[in-house]
Structure 1
């Protein structure tokens, strides 16, 4: 008797595949959109997004940044509007960075401790109008130094201990202004312990520290340095205090040291070139771990998208999912607004 079509004998190739995999076919659960969504292992939500943006002086100012299409510097009053938009979209926190005028910069970056610098004025203004939004502030010196380094430069050397002391002063000024999280990105040894002790001694025991524990000497920072006015370092480079891109064990040691000194969270910067570091830190320490999708990463995706070489929107969301897959609890990204809007519109990578 002839077998019905549904009972046809499998080909030799099909039999070989089924015998090799014992009948398992991983493509079965990729067949439909609903099944792909159902078995998705990692998920991206608005709660994962942190919006970094740039401050400048004046009023009603919005200055486009040429190296970062779609990103601008904002005066404090306009920054408040940015914060309101972030809160409306459900983004939990923002991270402002200042472009200070040349007349307030100095060799030691002491303006970081001034209560009326751009960061501190922005903290107060945003907290007044959008108190429910988290504010994460950096205590590095580079926006405040004449030479553009993250520490104090003396005789061609970034002096560690004096730099750390100035960074502590900046962190205290930001705490007094009302910041929610101190996030030092300078990579000076010992600064986490000093900041923790100073915060505790001055009544700020509840302010957590998000340490840029693993900040690499990367080529991806160029547009950011243009944005804050430190594009051309007057002397040297940052390789004596940032981590070499070749080193992973050193990154783990940096993170371990910062946690022992009192850090509550860890940051990896840049992001996509260092997914292995994110995964290793999360697997090793099991603490909240964040990534900064830095300016160079953003600008590459943006430029390729504008030239029609890639689908910018798809690449944006895929890159953010990569951070979640690596183990991130949160992502600083200049795409925060666009990503939040896509998520609210029902975006799902499995569709």
Structure 2
């Protein structure tokens, strides 16, 4: 498959703007970060010369040629994995992902992923833009976070959905069970997220000059005494482990989180032994993606999907409801 060439001419309105900003308007299916990568890779030409500076200031009537490489071939094995499909058409598919399912192959997980299941279900109709290990993948959920995720079935949809995520116009809401009782019913957590300085498998809120900007908005939905509360969290950004890191940072780590939380004796005081076992054997963070909303890449219509709290987390809620009189 040959690469696609796009011819773009700078308008008077874009005079003096950055090259990557100017090209966004002529390529709405591409995000600014995607265009920046194409520029840096030498895929933009002007007057026969390659322009590799995304900050290059354009002038009216300048003509540019943008070369968009064809998507990479998919080289993964389809697997018969049960998928809870919420919606599907020719452009995209929305899945309610269970906890324990990795989104795409990677180090230590060569198969048995959501991508392998999607390949079995969709055949070769997944976008290859994400690369040979991530066909169709526009965004991710942690292995042990359950809930709604959308995948693209063609390159046009992939670019459009990726652009919406980059522009932060996608609606994403999560429900979580967290330890403690916040001193305010709602608020926002703002703190740059980067690799933990001492534990490289963890993320952390880090200094200004190291991490990436991250913003999480939350509101308390229900309190189970002073022990646990249920929160709705909405992402303004999408950093690795963002909700888990931000809530732990303010002293309210997620119930069951094996990385950022510890189930101490004080947190379990007064709870019957049978219920304690249910809590301590929960091997995943109590976090579920309940809402996903975006604009359909072909129709332009707003789409919004909702998913109920899964059974394992509802069982935890019942335990904390019974135990709230002891907290």
TM range (shorter): under 0.3
Higher relative contact order by CA 8 Å / sep ≥ 6: 1 or 2?
Answer: 1
Which structure has the greater CA radius of gyration?
1
Q: TM-score normalised to the size of structure 1?
A: 0.26
- The structure with more strand, counted as a fraction of residues: 2
Q: TM-score normalised to the size of structure 2?
A: 0.27
- The structure with more helix, counted as a fraction of residues: 1
